[in-house]
Amino acid sequence: MKNILVIGSTGQIGSELTVELRKRYGNEHVVAGYIPGAEPTGELKETGPSVIADVTDRQSIELAVRKHKIDTIYNLAALLSVVAESRPAMAWKIGIDGLWNVLEVAREHHCAVFTPSSIGSFGLSTPHVKTPQDTVQRPSTMYGVTKVTTELLSDYYHTKYGVDTRAVRFPGIISNVTPPGGGTTDYAVDIYYAAVKGEQFVCPVKAGTYMDMMYMPDALNAAISLMEADPTRLIHRNAFNIASMSFDPEEIYAAIKKIRPEFEMVYQIDPVKQAIADSWPDSLDDTCARLEWDWCPKYDLETMTVDMLEKLELKLKK
Ligand code: AKB
């Protein structure tokens, strides 16, 4: 049985990934790593062990790994794209110095490591439609710079030291549990909250701005399936394109309006978010993930919208 440490367990992806991993591997085998001031609460706290694991403090990771006999680390510590633009030094410190610490501990203690990359690892010079797995990666954002570096450093630790590093390039992740914070794709979560609260939604990116998005259950499945994949089938490692849907604000608005005809959206463009979104692909080609580890998403825009609205309705009623 694996012993897993989730670093960043209280964040948008971490909070749901930790609970899902506990369902699959047993509560005692999945440790929620957190930084002081962001302690786990609720289900996350109640269902299993937790420990301080701050990527900027190598000793805390090492102690957590030793104490819980960890063999697999999901490293989700990062600043998202918009925040990273306003705090580039912090983005580097967490994303890259932090990754270095995680990889060093993994090397010494023989742990497998998952550190996600993103659609943000691409830039304006990348082919934007059906972006290939192996292509130009010259991002113009600090977030993108840290994500390309994450991919390279993770591959380096695999080829040089044999550390079992694997990753996907996450699109915008949509969920109804923990809200994201500081991302360019956050609008695709916020729009559902506005619809359920009966509020008009103010969209920060223009009609016609396409980006890849994914519903959380598929994102969790992607991370776990890749870490479970047969290594002899993996030609790539850091990081795989994965895709399930690509839409612009008009399309998500129309999908919500089908269920809630009274819902209204207006535009007020945020120039920072728009510039970042314009530099990212419209859609990714995920053929390699499908071939090398049988990646196959379940949700599209319609099925996700039905589920999001139902779950948020229940959540916001409480
Ligand atoms: C962001 O918008 O910064 C993230 C991402 C696509 O990596 N959600």
pLDDT tens, the chain, 318 aa long = 799 999 999 999 999 999 999 999 999 999 999 999 999 999 999 999 999 999 999 999 999 999 999 999 999 999 999 999 999 999 999 999 999 999 999 999 999 999 999 999 999 999 999 999 999 999 999 999 999 999 999 999 999 999 999 999 999 999 999 988 899 999 999 999 999 999 999 999 999 999 999 999 999 999 999 999 999 999 999 999 999 999 999 999 999 999 999 999 999 999 999 999 999 999 999 999 999 999 999 999 999 999 999 999 999 987
Output the pLDDT for position 1.
Answer: 73
From residue 157, alpha-carbon distances to 52, 150, 152, 169, 197 in Å are: 24, 11, 9, 18, 47
Best residue among 12, 13, 119, 209 to mutate for probing ligand 1's pocket (most ligand atoms within 8 Å of CB) is: 119
DSSP class of residue 200 equals P
For the entire predicted model, the pTM comes to: 0.97
CB contact at 8 A, 114 and 7: no
231 and 195 within one domain: no
Output the pLDDT for position 173.
Answer: 98
Label residue 311 exposed, middle or buried (CB < 10 Å: 0-12, 13-18, 19+): middle
Whole-number Å distance, alpha carbon 82 to ligand 1 midpoint, is 8
234 and 90 within one domain: yes
Whole-number Å distance, alpha carbon 183 to ligand 1 midpoint, is 5
Helix residue ranges per DSSP H, the chain: 12-25, 42-46, 58-67, 81-86, 88-92, 98-109, 142-161, 187-197, 216-228, 249-259, 271-279, 287-293, 301-317
CB contact at 8 A, 197 and 264: no
CB contact at 8 A, 61 and 46: no
CB contact at 8 A, 141 and 279: yes
CA terminus-to-terminus distance, the chain: 37
Q: Which atom of ligand 1 lies closest to the CA of 280?
A: 6
Q: Is the CB of 118 under 6 A from ligand 1?
A: yes
237 and 123 within one domain: yes
Q: Is the CB of 185 under 6 A from ligand 1?
A: yes
The residues carrying an active-site annotation are: 143
268 and 165 within one domain: no
Output the pLDDT for position 153.
Answer: 98
Q: Is the CB of 184 under 6 A from ligand 1?
A: yes
Q: Is residue 286 part of a domain?
A: no
The pair of three-digit structure tokens given for residue 68, joined into one six-digit string? 């819980």
251 and 235 within one domain: no
Domains of the chain: total = 2
16 and 143 within one domain: yes
Q: Comparing C-alpha atoms, which of 57, 46, 56 is closest to residue 18?
A: 46
Output the pLDDT for position 317.
Answer: 84
Residues β-bridged to residue 114 = 74, 166
Best residue among 118, 142, 278 to mutate for probing ligand 1's pocket (most ligand atoms within 8 Å of CB) is: 118
Q: Is residue 289 part of a domain?
A: no
Q: Is residue 312 part of a domain?
A: yes
Q: What is the residue with the minimal CA distance to atom 1 of ligand 1?
A: 183
Q: Is residue 293 part of a domain?
A: no
Q: Is the CB of 78 under 6 A from ligand 1?
A: no
Residues spanned by the domain of 235: 4-171+214-241
Whole-number Å distance, alpha carbon 295 to ligand 1 midpoint, is 20
Whole-number Å distance, alpha carbon 144 to ligand 1 midpoint, is 10
What is the CATH number for 42?
3.40.50.720
Q: Is the CB of 105 under 6 A from ligand 1?
A: no
Best residue among 79, 170, 209, 280 to mutate for probing ligand 1's pocket (most ligand atoms within 8 Å of CB) is: 170
Q: Is residue 58 part of a domain?
A: yes
Q: What is the residue with the minimal CA distance to atom 5 of ligand 1?
A: 172
